[in-house]
Amino acid sequence: MAKKNEKKSEAQLLREKLFSSKKHAGLRMSEEELKNCSVYCEAYKDFLGQAKIERQAARFTVAEAERNGYVPFVKGKKYKPGDKVYYVNRDKAVIFALIGKKDVHEGIRIAAAHIDSPRLDLKQNPLFEQDETAYFKTHYYGGIKKYQWPTVPLALHGVIVKSDGTTVEVTIGDDEGDPVFVVTDLLPHLAQDQMKRASSEIIRGEERNILIGSMPFRDDDASEKVKLSIMQLLNEKYGITEDDFISAELDAVPAGKPRDIGFDRSLIGGYGHDDKVCAYTAFSALMDVKDVPDRTALVILTDKEETGSDGVTGLKSAYFRYFVNDLAACFKMDGYTVLSMSECLSADVNAAFDPTFPDVLEKRNAAFINYGVCITKFTGSRGKAGTSDASAEFVGKIRRLMDDAGVIWQTGELGKVDLGGGGTVAAYIANLDVDTIDVGVPVLCMHAPFEIVAKTDVYQTYKAFGAFLK
């Protein structure tokens, strides 16, 4: 047994000085910080439970921003330090900006996250009846493991634009007392053939039909009586006819609120942590900036990341560039000069090491839950395909920023080399000549109907954005 005050050996001292050492955030955070962390995470859970789809996340954050003094951005207006503006792109993506003391051409600080999550979208002709049961046809959105989605209670969120041009909002399945919907699956007793299918085929695309009703319209002569009674209900509630589905966006998402996980309540389970957890931490950090920052601070919450960032509300769209151009024009500057001098934290979740499946991650370069915000120099797959690969200089700068602010952070890449990989919006912002690096919260069960994050990591990510944007 070692004596208590035994002198450390030379090797021990040298090791402490030279080797990297990381510790569980639960051992590094003070009691007070842990308390703040759990209070903060309650607010996050509230957001996550209300923002199931991008439209809801956009609306939630805009309402919150307005309470904090943010007003719609006006092109050509003269802005001064401390002014707070926001811009909404088609109800699905939002940019918030807090004007800083320095000229925008000295660069702005950008945090970018996405507010869409994998789910089952309804097809444009979704409604059908089969053997006196009514269903919606679906087309999945984003990368999902298809076997995970049957027998999960689903809620339906979205909008329907009717033939007269008016829009009705649909939100059903998440309020206490609401009915829910479900994709059915076979009983194991009769699944011998199904279980022989490849796992990606266990529930095939055209088998992911959502059960929505089973009572017939009471008239012996009518055909498709269940479909008719469903359509009658929908017409009474939303004033729609079947053709109105063509101009609808209806998303089936896991029903229910986020829940604490574990006896110690240290984790949060819920739908859509990817990437509402980075969206919320970035957004709330901006809202909590107390003093006027040196550099203009900007948070983008974008759409369509899960399908590749294409489309008008995705980050490959010019909307972000146009906004920066318009902002620069308010100060009689060029947008490109602003961008070239700017820096961005591209905020998206990373894969957390799962001890049950240790083989897919390389432990020296994997993110762990409760080890803080994950800083990722590069993403991509194979030979870093599709990455933006932050420069050593920029990584160094961010590292110092985190350390100076007492942020608990780690580094990690998504999976072993050659095993797969992934990308985020980082490359699209970096392509605009903006120094960009990936940061985010490590997630277990990413893209599953119920994803898991650790509360300490959520809080450290919030702190990281606070340090960057302030």
Q: Which residues contact Mn ion (rule: CB under 5 A)?
A: 274-275, 348
Q: Which is nearer to Mn ion, 157 or 276 (CB)?
A: 276
Smallest gap, in angstroms, from Cβ of residue 348 to Mn ion?
4
CB-based burial of residue 321 (10 Å sphere; 0-12 exposed, 13-18 middle, 19+ buried)?
A: middle
Smallest gap, in angstroms, from Cβ of residue 90 to Mn ion?
20
Phi, psi angles (nearest 5°) of residue 357: -130, 65
402-430: burial string, b at 16+ Cβ within 10 Å, e else: beeeebbbbbbbbbeeeeebbbbbbbbbb
Q: Which is nearer to Mn ion, 129 or 305 (CB)?
A: 305
3-state secondary structure of 155: strand
Q: Which is nearer to Mn ion, 341 or 345 (CB)?
A: 345
Q: Which is nearer to Mn ion, 274 or 343 (CB)?
A: 274
Smallest gap, in angstroms, from Cβ of residue 315 to Mn ion?
12
Smallest gap, in angstroms, from Cβ of residue 442 to Mn ion?
12
Q: Which is nearer to Mn ion, 226 or 268 (CB)?
A: 268
Query: Could you tell me if 139 and 307 are in contact, meaning their C-beta atoms sit under 8 angstroms apart?
Result: no
Strands 119-130 and 133-141: antiparallel
What is the length of the chain? Answer: 470
Smallest gap, in angstroms, from Cβ of residue 11 to Mn ion?
43
Angle at 456 between CA 455 and CA 459, to 5 degrees: 90
Tokens of 461: 């990510």
Q: Which is nearer to Mn ion, 341 or 414 (CB)?
A: 414
Q: 372 to each of 123, 367, 391, how far by Cα in Å?
A: 40, 9, 22
CA neighbor of 355 nearest in space, from 452, 455, 461, 459: 452
Tokens of 225: 């009586």
| Contacts with 356 (C-beta within 8 Å, 6 or more apart), sequence order | none
Q: How far is it, in rounded angstroms, from Cα 457 to Cα 277?
A: 10
Query: Could you tell me if 342 and 108 are in contact, meaning their C-beta atoms sit under 8 angstroms apart?
Result: yes
C-beta nearest to Mn ion: residue:
275
3-state secondary structure of 125: strand
CA neighbor of 454 nearest in space, from 111, 26, 21, 53: 26
Smallest gap, in angstroms, from Cβ of residue 202 to Mn ion?
21
Query: Could you tell me if 134 and 127 are in contact, meaning their C-beta atoms sit under 8 angstroms apart?
Result: yes
Smallest gap, in angstroms, from Cβ of residue 349 to Mn ion?
5
Q: Which is nearer to Mn ion, 244 or 275 (CB)?
A: 275
Smallest gap, in angstroms, from Cβ of residue 333 to Mn ion?
32
Smallest gap, in angstroms, from Cβ of residue 245 to Mn ion?
27
Q: Which is nearer to Mn ion, 274 or 457 (CB)?
A: 274
Q: Which is nearer to Mn ion, 160 or 277 (CB)?
A: 277
Q: Which is nearer to Mn ion, 302 or 460 (CB)?
A: 302
Smallest gap, in angstroms, from Cβ of residue 436 to Mn ion?
15
| Contacts with 464 (C-beta within 8 Å, 6 or more apart), sequence order | 281, 285, 345, 373, 402, 405, 407, 409, 439
Q: How far is it, in rounded angstroms, from Cα 202 to Cα 94?
A: 37
